[in-house]
Amino acid sequence: MEQKVFLESKFGKVAGVLSLANADKKSLIFILVHGFESSKDGITLSAVNKFFQSLKINTLRIDLFAHGESEGNFADLTVTKAISSLNTAFDYLKSENYSKIGLFGSSLGGLVSLFCSTIQNPKLLILKCPASKNLGDLICNGWGLDPEKWRENNYVQWEEQNIVRRLNYDFYQDALNYNAEEVVNKIKCPILLVHGGEDSVVPVEQSISLSKLIK
């Protein structure tokens, strides 16, 4: 059974889909978090959700700020606002009396999940190619953007699949505050880290470095 939810947050409504494979709120439920420019209905989260459902594990996959059906102007996106979206999802599940919450995050969602885990204490954290540091530079490299022009103009703009995206320089500055290597040792739950060696956006070296700091 699937149910759409729209959750009130500090930065506007957060959209999600609750997929229930069983009715036991004491069983494990996973929050699934997508990457930059993706959504709860993207290829990665759809595949992961299908896998968890086959194991009879409940999920809540969400759209981060300004992605998918969640509110917000994409130009105003920051890591801080994305973390707020995920905290809202955690608070919702806790208010619904779910007691065993796991977390899956991909790319940007991996970074968001790492920092959220230092606050929310999930039972298990799964990271797929997490952008664990230097996110602004990773986006510049992956999307062919000039960081100096981004700073000078106070925004950057590009087109992908006939969609014109604009992102304010606040994103780059805000991302400098989020280096997962500085906080990963605060995470108490088991962590599964998965990263392809030929990732063209997030270098696998980031995850190798991060893995050495995981308790």
Locate the DSSP E strands across 22-162.
29-33, 58-62, 101-106, 124-128, 155-160
pLDDT in tens, the chain (215 residues): 899 999 999 999 999 999 999 999 999 999 999 999 999 999 999 999 999 999 999 999 999 999 999 999 999 999 999 999 999 999 999 999 999 999 999 999 999 999 999 999 999 999 999 999 999 999 999 999 999 999 999 999 998 878 899 999 999 999 999 999 999 999 999 999 999 999 999 999 999 999 999 98
Distances (CA, A) of 112 to 159, 174, 177: 25, 13, 12
Closest by CA to 32, choosing from 96, 103, 117, is: 103
Q: Is 53 exposed, middle or buried (0-12, 13-18, 19+ CB in 10 A)?
A: middle
pTM for the predicted model, two decimal places: 0.96
Distance, C-alpha 57 to centroid of its chain: 20
Q: What is the residue type of 58?
A: N
190, 126 in Cβ contact below 8 A?
no
